[in-house]
């Protein structure tokens, strides 16, 4: 998820793992020019790695025995738009994932989402951050209920996480076309279907801002997304 320089040549990397949840690892010699090769580059945000580690539950920082690429991206590391979306996804996960324990289903969802983003066509990529934000909430217990047809409402109450018929008595809601688009995105279960959702830059911007508001209402100390401003600039 993130890497911090340690000493002259090493890194301490925080990684979301399949078996142990969120763990910190010491990577010795990652920043030396000759022996490490491209080792430091492997620990970029969003990288999917195959790790063999020494794990001791009594220690705060673990050690990596062997490390290799589990999946080689074709586009995410070089494409400005896809890289910006991937960085946004990693930051959102980092802010939402307060508990370090193992969460295999969440791990598989994020891994698959990153691989799907790497292969996505332009129109799919443009809507990918919206898709990921809405569906990630499901793993933290506050998924928005897509009950629009049941209530015939045009308001999405962000406090309650459901569509309602009457104007909420608080300012935390989405209405009109933005609510309809959100309902459509909630029904979209496969990223490949995102090319059917036709949106412009301004609409994506408004929706992402509202979705961040939704997360802030349901996650204590959620704060502000640093990558959101960059995402607004690159998405068209």
- Residue range 94-110: mean pLDDT, rounded: 91
In the prediction, which pLDDT does 124 show? Answer: 96
Contact 204, 126 (CB under 8 A): yes
In the prediction, which pLDDT does 147 show? Answer: 83
Tell me if 1-72 shares its fold with 74-236: no
Q: Does pLDDT of 194 surpass 80?
A: yes
- Residue range 73-77: mean pLDDT, rounded: 95
Instruction: Please write the tens of the pLDDT for every residue from 145-157.
Output: 988 765 566 899 9
Instruction: Please write the tens of the pLDDT for every residue from 168-184.
Output: 999 999 999 999 999 99
Topology adopted by domain 1-72? OB fold (Dihydrolipoamide Acetyltransferase, E2P) (2.40.50)
In the prediction, which pLDDT does 150 show? Answer: 59
Q: Does pLDDT of 215 surpass 90?
A: yes
Q: Would you list the domain boundaries of the chain?
A: 1-72, 74-236
Confidence of residue 33 (pLDDT cuts 50, 70, 90): low
Topology adopted by domain 74-236? de novo design (two linked rop proteins) (1.20.1440)
In the prediction, which pLDDT does 6 show? Answer: 76
Confidence of residue 101 (pLDDT cuts 50, 70, 90): confident
Q: Does pLDDT of 34 surpass 70?
A: no
Structure tokens given for 175 = 């209405």
In the prediction, which pLDDT does 38 show? Answer: 59
pLDDT > 90 fraction of the chain, expressed in percent and rounded: 73
- Residue range 129-149: mean pLDDT, rounded: 92
Distance CA(183)–CA(174), nearest Å, equals 11
Contact 8, 44 (CB under 8 A): no
Note the pTM of the prediction, 2 decimals: 0.91
In the prediction, which pLDDT does 32 show? Answer: 66
Mean pLDDT of all residues belonging to the chain: 90
- Distances from the Cα of 229 to the Cαs of 83, 104, 170, 209, in angstroms? 14, 30, 26, 10
Closest CA to 213 of 170, 177, 181, 176: 170
Q: Does pLDDT of 202 surpass 70?
A: yes
- Residue range 36-40: mean pLDDT, rounded: 62
């Amino acid at each position: 998820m993130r890497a911090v320089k340690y000493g002259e040549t090493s890194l301490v990397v925080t990684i979301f793992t399949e078996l142990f949840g969120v763990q910190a690892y010491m990577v010795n010699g990652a920043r030396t020019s000759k022996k490490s090769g491209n080792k430091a580059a492997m620990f970029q945000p969003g990288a999917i790695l195959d790790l063999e580690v020494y794990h001791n539950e009594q220690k705060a920082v673990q050690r990596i025995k062997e490390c290799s690429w589990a999946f080689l991206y074709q586009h995410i590391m070089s494409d400005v738009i896809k890289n910006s979306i991937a960085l946004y996804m990693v930051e959102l996960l980092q802010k939402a994932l307060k508990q370090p324990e193992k969460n295999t289903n969440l791990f598989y969802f994020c891994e698959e989402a990153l691989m799907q983003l790497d292969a996505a066509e332009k129109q799919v990529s443009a809507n990918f951050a919206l898709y990921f934000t809405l569906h990630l909430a499901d793993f933290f217990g506050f998924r928005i209920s897509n009950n629009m047809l049941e209530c015939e409402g045009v308001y999405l109450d962000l406090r309650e996480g459901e569509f309602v018929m009457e104007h909420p008595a608080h300012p935390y809601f989405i209405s009109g076309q933005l609510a309809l688009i959100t309902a459509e995105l909630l029904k979209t279960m496969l990223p490949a279907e995102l090319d059917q959702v036709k949106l412009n830059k301004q609409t994506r911007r408004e929706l992402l801002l509202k979705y961040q508001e939704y997360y802030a209402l349901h996650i204590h100390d959620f704060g502000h997304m640093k990558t959101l401003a960059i995402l607004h600039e690159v998405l068209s």
